[in-house]
Structure 1
Amino acid sequence: MPLSEHEQRMLEQMERALYAEDPKFASALEGTGLRTFTRRRLYQAVAGFLVGVALLMGGMIAKLTWVGVAGFLVMLACAVLAVTGWRKAAKPAEAVPPGRQGRLARRQHQPRKGKVMDRIEERWQRRRDEQGQ
């Protein structure tokens, strides 16, 4: 259920007030986006994969089978991390331009997920109904 016009205006007003009062705190609340997280995870997976290759080669050179197997397992785990992170990344066509309006638009168009969001929405509706009476 999208926010009403009044709720959107109130949210925008609170967001502007937060930015005006403490811009450093407001920017810290923004956090990093999914693409940044995914990119960082991909870089870590590639680095881990290279460590796995080194372990595999080191195990072969030193004739230590367990080191080679450990290197292969590290490579496998990092490959899985890289592939799952790549699939979760937002497609460029779906990307929303940065800025407060982009974040608000993205929040409005996201489908509600899980029981937690349903409970929060029910509580919000109850409070609204209680205030209206």
Structure 2
Amino acid sequence: MPLSEHEQRMLEQMERALYAEDPKFATALEGSGLRTYTRRRVYQAIAGFLVGIALLMAGMVAQWIWISVVGFLVMLGCAVLVVTGWRKAPRGGAPRGPMGAAGRRGPVRQRRSMMDRIEQRWQRRRDEQGR
């Protein structure tokens, strides 16, 4: 349900007030930190995997087995980091917070009922102000 113009203005005013009062806290609430960190970690692991392939190939060409083993271990470690990082990465529409992916069914119902209560309160306030 989209916000009305009045609601959007009120929300923008609250955001500006929050940024003016405590900019550090407001930036922390933006929530892109975990997503950016996880994405960066996955990219670093992919780059490490490619370095592992290069070490493996270089060890095979130079016929130094220990370099190939190191390259394989680097590849294996980076593959584990990619898989775990990919699973932990927050989805675009996923709820943020401590609940994460586990136990979504129960809290979603509670959130909907909470949102309904908030919307009802908002409508009552708007009706009272309109009188």
> TM-score when scaled to structure 2?
0.54
Pairwise mapping of residues 21-100 of structure 1 onto structure 2 (< 5 A)? 21=21, 23=23, 25-26=24-25, 28-30=27-29, 32-94=32-94
- Count of aligned positions: 86
Percent identity (aligned): 64
The equivalent of 1:118 in structure 2 is none
- After superposition, give the CA deviation of every residue in 1:72-112 in whole Å (9 maximum; x if it has no partner): 00000000000000011123341x5xxxxxxxxx55x848x
Which structure exhibits the higher relative contact order, with contacts defined as CA atoms closer than 8 Å and separated by 6 or more residues?
Answer: 1
**Per the alignment, in what secondary structure is the counterpart of residue 83 of structure 2?**
helix
Q: Give the aligned CA root-mean-square deviation in angstroms.
A: 2.9
Structure with larger Rg = 2
> TM-score when scaled to structure 1?
0.53
Gaps of 5+ in 1: 1-13, 97-105, 112-133
Gaps of 5+ in 2: 1-13, 101-131
